[in-house]
Amino acid sequence: MAQFRAIVVEKGDQGTSAALKTVDDADLMDGDVTVRVSHSTVNYKDGLAVTGKAPVVRRFPMVPGIDFAGVVESSTHPDWKPGDAVVLNGWGVGETHWGGYGERARVKGDWLIPLQPGLSPAQAMAVGTAGYTAALSVAALERFGMTPDRGPVLVTGAAGGVGSVAVALLAKRGWTVIASTGRPGEADYLKGLGASEIIDRAELSNPARPLGKERWAAAVDSVGSHTLANVLSMTRYGGAVAACGLAQGMDLPSSVAPFILRGVSLLGIDSVMAPKARRLEAWRLVGESLDKDKLAAMTTTIGLDGVLEAGKAILEGAVRGRTVVEVK
């Protein structure tokens, strides 16, 4: 019987634990496509899964890893044949269905999309779910009608994964980008990605007034809580904010003032269950507008044996940009 290496999260009396193990092919979950996984990544949610800090894993034992890139080994799905290069983001993979931190994955073919032309599997995972979420956010702002001539765009959590990709994409698409970070030492990094102005996230971290000075036309917020409330209160008349994250918290201690007095719109971004057309649109946007050198500048590469450490670090807000996992 064939075996492969995988990070496995198990549940015991003391809570959950994660370790690199050898697993049998026979243990793979149901699906109509088997993929040889070459790369995965460490997203915020993966940090929660491997540390057990929040109950994102809802079935045990679980191979975490909410995204992967690889090559189809076998398929009974009409869209996929052996040798196809594929990418998966979300769909509960790494939470309820074995995910990307294993050398092999068996999934539903409907969850897969083709590797974006022009990207290697490693580059696609340097983008990963965080970067694809950044692209979903940019696409949502543009679909809403937001254009760079309306004024600057703010990106919160800018030195993180979603934030770094959002800064690079927005700058390339002609926006003047204001990057909010708690790490002033990353100012040069963020300017290198295309940010024009850096602000201290402390300006946005405390309870918000209903309305503040109008500072930006649009925003991509990966932080939530008081930060999102402040972002909304300082968005210009008629502007829009794409809310995609909760790094500060899941709450939104805000008022309706920005909505009813300034016509500000809040656009919700979900990457997990996003329909295929939206996924393809986001990945096209990445293909069009993400400079490969900037992508390389924001990427650190580790092996499966580095995932547990990286998972802890991302929860501490200590990871810069994106972390790719070379699975095989």
Residues that bind ligand NDP (CB under 6 A): 43-45, 129-130, 133, 157-163, 181-183, 201, 205, 222-223, 227, 244-248, 269-272, 314, 317, 319
Q: How far is the CB of 187 from ligand NDP (least distance, A)?
A: 10
Cβ proximity to ligand NDP: between 75 and 227 the closer is 227
The encoded tokens of residue 320 equal 């810069």
The encoded tokens of residue 80 equal 């996929």
Distance in angstroms (rounded) separating the CA atoms of residues 213 and 226: 16
Q: How far is the CB of 249 from ligand NDP (least distance, A)?
A: 7
Cβ proximity to ligand NDP: between 119 and 244 the closer is 244
Q: How far is the CB of 160 from ligand NDP (least distance, A)?
A: 2
Q: 42 φ, ψ to 5°? A: -110, 110
Cβ proximity to ligand NDP: between 71 and 187 the closer is 187
- Stated as kind and residue range, the H or E segment containing 46 is helix 44-51
Cβ proximity to ligand NDP: between 23 and 64 the closer is 64
Q: How far is the CB of 282 from ligand NDP (least distance, A)?
A: 11
Per DSSP bridges, beta strands 322-326 and 33-41 are antiparallel
- 160-199 burial code (b ≥16 CB/10 A, e <16): bbbbbbbbbbbbbbebbbbbbbbbeebbebbbebbbeebb
* Number of neighbouring beta carbons within 10 Å of residue 34: 19
- Stated as kind and residue range, the H or E segment containing 136 is helix 121-143
Q: How far is the CB of 68 from ligand NDP (least distance, A)?
A: 15
Cβ proximity to ligand NDP: between 161 and 212 the closer is 161
- Stated as kind and residue range, the H or E segment containing 5 is strand 3-12
Distance in angstroms (rounded) separating the CA atoms of residues 27 and 65: 17
Cβ proximity to ligand NDP: between 115 and 314 the closer is 314
Distance in angstroms (rounded) separating the CA atoms of residues 222 and 164: 11
The encoded tokens of residue 109 equal 């073919």
Distance in angstroms (rounded) separating the CA atoms of residues 188 and 181: 12
Q: How far is the CB of 51 from ligand NDP (least distance, A)?
A: 13
Query: Is the backbone of residue 91 left (phi > 0), alpha (psi -120 to 50) or beta?
Result: left
Q: How far is the CB of 182 from ligand NDP (least distance, A)?
A: 4
The encoded tokens of residue 79 equal 């869209």
Cβ proximity to ligand NDP: between 28 and 56 the closer is 56
Residue closest to ligand NDP when measured from CB atoms:
160
Cβ proximity to ligand NDP: between 71 and 302 the closer is 302
Q: How far is the CB of 111 from ligand NDP (least distance, A)?
A: 15
